[in-house]
Chains A and B, each alone.
With several copies, the nearest count.
Chain A
């Protein structure tokens, strides 16, 4: 049996498959169909300081091989999370990583401070795909200096693993990964959703109430893989691969491209046990291919003499 466990910034995870923020709730809605204890970890829905009701309907739209969402970071807020959700999560035998969203740097700090001392929270993932109210709503995550500052400020507040989740909607994600690394972030999660849009031609209105939304699912997998490849070549800290992972084969592509671990998102909606199946499939692949440790796969891409578009062109 291949070794599946590994250490992520000092934290021991039983396997390399986590469930992505916003696609598994707070872990307590998936129980009957699948045991979350078999996951490498659970990333919570993004938590903000105050509860957020989220955007008006329509919040989701299906697209070819993918879906758009504009949930609006609907969440119960960090305080209710602690009282209502954390007790259950503590009872699950897996790592729990709190994902944090905020609209000012101070708010990120505040949420992290509230969570920091809590037993049962094993690490933090910072969602920087949020509008910076001070900068007129520009997304923090598209501003390299802002990402650096958020990392620096939060790093000072915690010794727990600090993951920064990057947005793909930038020209060179490698620069953002480097900024996180330079400021002491433990890992980068690559990637959040691509900005997308859908229009109802009958009404000539946007399908989503917010006009545009975030694209996820199998459709974005090739983009996510390229972003992970780019980020993994830019930094030495772990890159956690996210985007369109539906099965073990998808996850293996990410590991081979350089991801230390992966997160399963949209696939949970279709099969709440998707993450567990992915983890099992990775182990099976290793066994079938005589790979003693999943670690041996990470970054094992044999790119030969091929030069990539990231360096050159199509």
Chain B
């Protein structure tokens, strides 16, 4: 562990080093952290890989419960038990699009910096939209071409980020866009309807309870689109899904 620093109001960035992991992580994948050695909390906690700098790896989080409260108390020198990288990366290598439209709501910003780098490596331009309650909750580092929306209007567009995207794209159309979105479920639903209406390909990165993170507990079903009811696994088949493949 390298330490935990603050990156916004109630927002923390935890960094640790792992050479092997830093090389293998792809944008959109997550890490499954054991926060306590005791059985309280029992299960690991999943976090998106946020940043990689040489062998140093970062995650960004806010304190919502016991696990994240314990994470915040971690100190430099503590040993972290991390499983990962887990899940499938975002599909950035995709001839079907030219411009990445990145949308993050709140801490849904987490996977966007790595995604930005990945898209740039593919030579694809990026435009980023970030929404939060207020300016203090915006984590704007390592993003490109950033447009922000806040509920209280304290920075950027006043209102929700999906309205901002829709507004922006109608004024500044981009060539063959693909949306990559991460954030709370209501936002993802709004993004999905917007993408469907605008016929833009769209991947959303989902969140939900996970038991194992590796596909062995069947605890993280994501309902698939299609006439017959069936489920994919968020941890193994996701966490990002093309909105055409799932019920959202």
Q: Residues on A close to B: CB < 8 A?
A: 22-25, 29-30, 33, 45, 53-62, 64-67, 69, 71, 74, 217-219, 246, 266, 268-270, 272
B39→A65 contact, CB < 8 A: yes
B217→A71 contact, CB < 8 A: yes
State in angstroms the CA–CA spacing of A45 and B212 once bound together. 15
State in angstroms the CA–CA spacing of A60 and B219 once bound together. 6
Q: Among the listed stretches B135-143, B147-155, B196-204, B223-231, which one makes contact with chain A, having 4 or more residues with CB under 8 Å of it?
A: B223-231
B214 closest partner in A (C-beta): A29
Residues of B within 8 A of A266 (CB): 42
Q: Given the known A-B contacts A218-B42, A269-B44, are A25 and B215 also in contact in the complex, defined by CB atoms under 8 Å?
A: yes
B224 closest partner in A (C-beta): A53
B10 contacts A by Cβ under 8 Å: no
Q: Which of B40, B43, B219, B222 contacts A270 (CB 8 A)?
A: B43
B8 contacts A by Cβ under 8 Å: no
Q: Which of B42, B83, B212 contacts A62 (CB 8 A)?
A: B42
B43→A67 contact, CB < 8 A: yes
Q: Tell me the count of chain B residues lying within 8 A, CB to CB, of chain A.
A: 28
B234 closest partner in A (C-beta): A57
Expressed in whole angstroms, the minimum distance between the Cβ of A209 and any Cβ of chain B is 9
Expressed in whole angstroms, the minimum distance between the Cβ of B145 and any Cβ of chain A is 35
What are 14 sample pairs from A and B whose C-beta atoms fall under 8 A apart? Answer: A30-B214, A53-B230, A55-B221, A57-B209, A59-B220, A61-B209, A62-B41, A69-B211, A74-B218, A74-B231, A219-B39, A270-B43, A272-B212, A272-B214
B228 closest partner in A (C-beta): A53
B212→A268 contact, CB < 8 A: yes
Q: Given the known A-B contacts A29-B215, A268-B216, are A53 and B231 also in contact in the complex, defined by CB atoms under 8 Å?
A: yes
Residues of A within 8 A of B229 (CB): 53
B221→A62 contact, CB < 8 A: no
Residues of A within 8 A of B83 (CB): 33, 272
State in angstroms the CA–CA spacing of A22 and B40 once bound together. 22
B216→A59 contact, CB < 8 A: no
Q: Which of A57, A60, A65, A272 contacts B40 (CB 8 A)?
A: A65
